[in-house]
Amino acid sequence: MAPQRATLLQVAQRAGVSRSTASFVLAGRHLDMRISEDARRRVLRAAQELDYRPNLMARSLRTKVTRTIALVSDTLASDPYAGKAIQGALAAAVAHGRLLFIGETEGDPVVEEKLVSDLIDRQVDAFVYASMFTRYVRLPKQLKGHPVVLLNCLTRGAEPAQHQIIPDELTAGWNAAVTLLEAGHRGGIHLVGNADEHVFAGRERLAGIREGLSSADTRLAGMIDCDWWPDSAYDAVSRALAEGLRPQALICLNDRIALGTYQALREAGQVIPDDVSVISFDDSELAAWLRPQLTSISLPHYQLGWEAVERLLGPESGPLVHRVPMPVRRRASTGKPSVS
């Protein structure tokens, strides 16, 4: 049987003060209520001796504030890599003295509607609405009127109605290009992957790459089209090499593409980075496992989660789209261009 919880009245009796005085002290309101320093110390000592903890349920019923927030995502929580965003959100919530509920919908609108309704019924104070992949979303209608920050997703419209936290894919593309330019590459740079207009990350990365290359009066020499998976990349790069392509550098749109690219280059007798430099995006665990280790531009999942909760609970400001920097993780897969 659990020990009986100490009450506020017991704290007040032990400290020799009224119940309201004890309440004001424990709420941090001793100064504005002109409570003496001696009384304040007696209350705090009594609370410590009795191991007093406030009844949060009773407080929430009284104040309508539960000090809880919820993160609602499609599949973010179940992905071991992207799940670092959850860690960042949890850390920020703890720093603000909040409890974070996490719910996952697997992209099912029926599940999402019920989940959000249940969280609202539990008087959750505010919401982080998150997506596994950066994309445009339509917020559930139940969230109208509630504090919301979007994590890794956007709403359409000229002026955002909420803070929207996304990775800075555009600058990441620029940095990929500049990394190769700094190594001395000016030609023979090919993109590997499918930069479909409907895929936000691919579209932004390609735009950044083109801008970065154009700053040095150069451009992509070509594109090797493939899906964002190792087997598709392996097939596409192998076919291009067999047809006589001899690239100086390959920019892969993610690390899985880079894995397939590594295999194709190795089978064709191409040495990384002596013959071909390879750079990628995401900086998943795969990047450090590959040999040579892969230069990759990191998706800052932890920082995205932290920033979303900070914007949700921090000082009020006008809604903005916040682009979180994506750092370049320089490793052994990029080098000077080979001499033909």
- Strand-pairing partners, residue 136, are 154
pLDDT at res. 61: 44
272-281 CB burial, b ≥16 within 10 A, e <16 = bbebbbbbbb
pLDDT at res. 73: 94
69: closest CA among 146, 166, 154?
146
pLDDT at res. 63: 46
Domains of the chain, earliest start first:
8-54 (1.10.260.40), 68-167+301-324 (3.40.50.2300), 169-299 (3.40.50.2300)
Which 3 state secondary structure label does DSSP give 101?
A: strand
pLDDT at res. 122: 85
Alpha-carbon distance of 222 to 190, in angstroms, equals 5
pLDDT at res. 59: 53
Q: CB count, 10 Å around CB of 59?
A: 14
Q: What percent of the chain has pLDDT over 70?
A: 93
Residue stretches of the chain with pLDDT short of 70: 1-3, 29-32, 54-66, 340
pTM strictly above 0.85: no
Query: pLDDT tens for residues 208-239?
Result: 999 999 999 999 999 999 999 999 999 999 99
